[in-house]
Amino acid sequence: MLKIGEFSKLSHLTVKALRFYESKGILMPASVDEWTGYRFYEIDQLETAEAVKAYKRLGLTIDEITAVLNGADLRPLLAAKAELLHAERDRIDTCLSEIRSVLEDKKMKYQVTQKQIPEMVVYSCEATLDKYADIMSWIPSVGEECLALNPGLQCADPPYEFCEYLDAEYRENDIRIRHSEAVTKMGNENERIHFRVLPAAKVLCVEHKGPYETITQAYTFLMKYAESNGYVCAGPARECYIDGIWNKESPEEWLTEVQLPIQ
């Protein structure tokens, strides 16, 4: 049996921490002297102490640690923690990218071009996504669903696909979005996949290099350009994703073309 001080030294947990874990029912003393109140621990409890420290390092809450020690499955808890950490890492990467740009006085140099988009057949899918980060996993799923309905369907050459945001205002959650991709012919539809003839359109374009969080700069430049040159908007802006998370590791290398249909 080990006194609480000895157990503290061997477990690398302070006495204060041990008393806290005792109060939460996580790491209870093996026995307590009824006269002195001294607490004693079994040597085997060092393994439990090590497990508690490991779970704490992984970000588990007290309630989650208690549940795991009582037999709950650790894997779904860790999967949820991993998802949160990935999201936090993406946020930190984006923040660092913006900091570097400010420190290095990097300013995106936009150049507006005008394109004539020909009439074409596209398949489209509309959805309400929980958050913007879901877009890059949703788009491939739409393509797979369309191909399952239409085996052998070919994309147009040159390829053309884009997303439009359908809400009347910016939303952080429950985002209404439509994805369209040009194909060689009309095809079979379901409740989500629909084919249509996209009319020819004249668009103003700028390319934005960097994370999506800073794409407002491109929209600002494009809208100011359109206004100062007397162009009238003829529909929602289109985002064409050229490079992104699927082929570039750094958000600084992501490339998006913003297209503004005009009259």
Q: What is the pLDDT of residues 85-143, one digit of tens each?
A: 888 887 787 777 767 766 765 556 788 999 999 999 999 999 999 887 788 788 889 99
Where do we find the tokens 């090590």?
50
Q: pTM above 0.75?
A: no
66: its two tokens:
């208690």
Low-confidence stretches of the chain (pLDDT beneath 50):
none
Type and span of the H or E element at 2: strand 2-3
Alpha carbon distance 161, 123 (integer Å): 10
Q: What per-residue confidence (pLDDT) applies to 101?
A: 64
Q: What per-residue confidence (pLDDT) applies to 106?
A: 57
Q: What per-residue confidence (pLDDT) applies to 145?
A: 94
Cβ contacts of residue 34 below 8 Å, gap of 6+?
Answer: none
Q: What per-residue confidence (pLDDT) applies to 168?
A: 82
Return the SS3 of 43.
coil
HSE-up of 225 (CA within 13 Å, CB side)? 18
Q: What angle do CA 23, 25, 29 make, to 5 degrees?
A: 85
List residues bridging with 193 in a β-sheet.
Answer: 125
251 upstream amide cis, omega within 30 of 0: no
Q: What per-residue confidence (pLDDT) applies to 98?
A: 67
Q: Answer yes or no: are the C-beta atoms of 23 and 45 closer than 8 Å.
A: no
HSE-up of 241 (CA within 13 Å, CB side)? 18
Cβ contacts of residue 48 below 8 Å, gap of 6+?
Answer: 27, 69
Alpha helices in the chain (DSSP H): 4-11, 15-23, 45-57, 62-69, 74-103, 135-149, 216-228
